């Protein structure tokens, strides 16, 4: 069935689209007019500001010509055509919008995507790894340097598959190994509870890389938990707890090395449509909670429920990162930790990337818009 105009008022147009009828406001269509005076033909960016339109924008005529919608607006007389596919993709009437990209997983379902370093320039291998980072929140790159005096591809080169390293006060590359006076418990052999890194930073690092150079003989098992999966489970099992965690921001703080880093983040961050955007969970850097007295005990109840969920065995994907392998993961989604004491010889390097280098590198590049 093709595109049809089924009702027309000066302020609202109703169309029959493939997914059913959809209404469009005159002001919305005018704001998104596709004519050459409204959009740049090269970069498709809008050429006018909303304040330049008349107070009352109306539709003076609308018809389908050659499968495309042709609309004339008043009072400025602009004529614009809209492709059926574009209208389908941007309809806002009668469709629930979710996040189609991330697919929550349980440990038993996860089969991490592996990218061989030697195939990094193969477009299909590379885009499969990027798609896995968006879908599962992680991928593994293998065939890299290993040992205490490594030769071969470094973590910086792995980061470069997607984009430049985001440097922090820990340096461009940080070193996860036992230190004499560690500024962070990560830099000791201790077991580490599952967590997201650096929730005390604003913005929080989006993508993290961990490259294993020397593995532990005993212990040092990596534990990964899909925070989105845990958040969705909490939403279905205890809606009140989910609302409590998504409705409050809590303080995170890290001090050391001449820095005092602070941020406030929701343990579960959702957008205005309820889609989970990020999880921030770190028992080491969570600062004293500061919500109102009347909310404190309820918040702790919700926080403990979520923590218990994160530690359910079916949530925990356990594996040992081998020398020469680099785990790449969404730091605002996939929690990581290590089970058991690792031996002091274990040596990993880590770094961060901004998430745009991964999440922005797929999709339709012609749909670019203004920052
Ligand atoms: Fe960490």
The alpha carbon of 129 and the centre of ligand 1 are apart by a number of angstroms equal to: 22
The alpha carbon of 335 and the centre of ligand 1 are apart by a number of angstroms equal to: 8
pTM, 2 dp = 0.90
Select from 70, 95, 120 the last residue of a domain. Answer: 95
> Does residue 100 lie within any of the structural domains?
no
Residues 216 and 130 in one domain: yes
Is the C-alpha dihedral spanning 104, 175, 261, 357 positive or negative? negative
User: 9 is written with which tokens?
Assistant: 């008022």
> Does residue 44 lie within any of the structural domains?
yes
Q: Tell me the pLDDT tens digit for each residue of 180-220.
A: 788 887 787 788 899 999 999 999 999 999 999 999 877 67
Residues 125 and 90 in one domain: no
> Does residue 246 lie within any of the structural domains?
yes
- Mean of the per-residue pLDDT values of the chain: 93
Residues 64 and 112 in one domain: no
Q: Tell me the pLDDT tens digit for each residue of 17-31.
A: 988 999 999 999 999
The alpha carbon of 196 and the centre of ligand 1 are apart by a number of angstroms equal to: 6
The domain in which residue 26 lies consists of 4-95
The alpha carbon of 84 and the centre of ligand 1 are apart by a number of angstroms equal to: 47
Query: Which pLDDT score is estimated for 98?
Result: 57
User: From CA 318, how far away is CA 108, in angstroms rounded?
Assistant: 10
- CATH classification at residue 242: 3.60.130.10
- CATH classification at residue 59: 3.30.2020.30
> Does residue 284 lie within any of the structural domains?
yes
Percent of the chain with pLDDT over 90: 83
> Does residue 143 lie within any of the structural domains?
yes
Q: Tell me the pLDDT tens digit for each residue of 107-152.
A: 999 999 999 999 999 999 999 999 999 999 999 999 999 999 988 9
The alpha carbon of 125 and the centre of ligand 1 are apart by a number of angstroms equal to: 27
Q: Tell me the pLDDT tens digit for each residue of 336-348.
A: 999 877 777 889 9
pLDDT band at 328 (very low <50, low <70, confident <90, very high): very high
Which residue shows structure tokens 């201790």? Answer: 190
The alpha carbon of 210 and the centre of ligand 1 are apart by a number of angstroms equal to: 9
The alpha carbon of 98 and the centre of ligand 1 are apart by a number of angstroms equal to: 29
User: From CA 345, how far away is CA 187, in angstroms rounded?
Assistant: 12
The alpha carbon of 192 and the centre of ligand 1 are apart by a number of angstroms equal to: 8
Q: How many independent structural domains does the chain possess?
A: 2
> Does residue 370 lie within any of the structural domains?
no
The alpha carbon of 288 and the centre of ligand 1 are apart by a number of angstroms equal to: 20
pLDDT at 259 over 80: yes
The alpha carbon of 150 and the centre of ligand 1 are apart by a number of angstroms equal to: 22
Residues 315 and 202 in one domain: yes
pLDDT at 177 over 90: no
Query: Which pLDDT score is estimated for 99?
Result: 56
> Does residue 101 lie within any of the structural domains?
no
Q: What contacts 30, CB < 8 A, 6 or more positions away?
A: 53, 57, 73, 78, 80
Residues 163 and 255 in one domain: yes
């Amino acid at each position: 069935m093709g595109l049809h105009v089924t009702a027309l008022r000066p302020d609202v147009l109703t169309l029959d689209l493939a997914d059913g009828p959809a209404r469009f406001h005159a002001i919305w269509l005018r704001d998104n007019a596709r004519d050459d005076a409204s959009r740049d033909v090269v970069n498709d960016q809008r050429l006018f500001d909303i304040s330049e339109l008349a107070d009352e924008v109306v539709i003076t005529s609308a018809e389908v010509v050659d499968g495309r919608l042709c609309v004339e607006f008043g009072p400025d007389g602009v004529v614009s055509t809209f492709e059926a596919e574009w209208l389908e993709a941007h309809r806002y009437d009668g469709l629930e919008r979710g996040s189609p990209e991330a697919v929550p997983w349980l440990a038993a379902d996860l089969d991490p995507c592996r990218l061989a370093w030697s195939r990094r320039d193969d477009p299909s291998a590379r885009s499969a790894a990027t798609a896995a980072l968006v879908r599962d929140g992680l991928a593994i790159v293998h065939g890299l340097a290993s040992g205490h005096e490594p030769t071969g591809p470094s973590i910086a080169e792995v980061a470069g598959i997607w984009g430049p390293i985001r440097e922090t006060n820990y340096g461009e590359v940080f070193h996860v190994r036992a230190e004499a006076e560690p500024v962070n418990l990560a830099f000791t052999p201790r077991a580490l509870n599952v967590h997201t890194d650096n929730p005390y930073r604003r913005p929080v690092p989006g993508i993290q890389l961990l490259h294993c150079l020397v593995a532990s003989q005993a212990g040092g098992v990596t534990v990964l938990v899909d925070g989105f999966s845990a958040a969705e489970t909490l939403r279905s099992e205890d809606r009140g707890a989910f609302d409590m965690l998504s409705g409050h921001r809590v303080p995170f703080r890290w001090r050391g090395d001449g820095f005092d880093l602070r941020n406030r983040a929701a343990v579960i961050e959702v957008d205005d449509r309820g889609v989970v955007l990020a999880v921030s969970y770190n028992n080491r850097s969570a600062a004293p909670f500061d919500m109102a007295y009347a909310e404190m005990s309820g918040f702790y109840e919700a926080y403990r429920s979520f923590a218990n969920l994160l530690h359910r065995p079916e949530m925990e994907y356990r594996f040992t990162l081998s020398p020469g392998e680099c785990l790449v993961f969404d730091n605002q989604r996939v929690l990581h930790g290590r089970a058991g004491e690792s031996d002091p010889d274990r040596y990993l390097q880590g770094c961060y990337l901004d998430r745009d280098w991964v999440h922005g590198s797929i999709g339709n590049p012609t749909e670019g818009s203004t920052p």
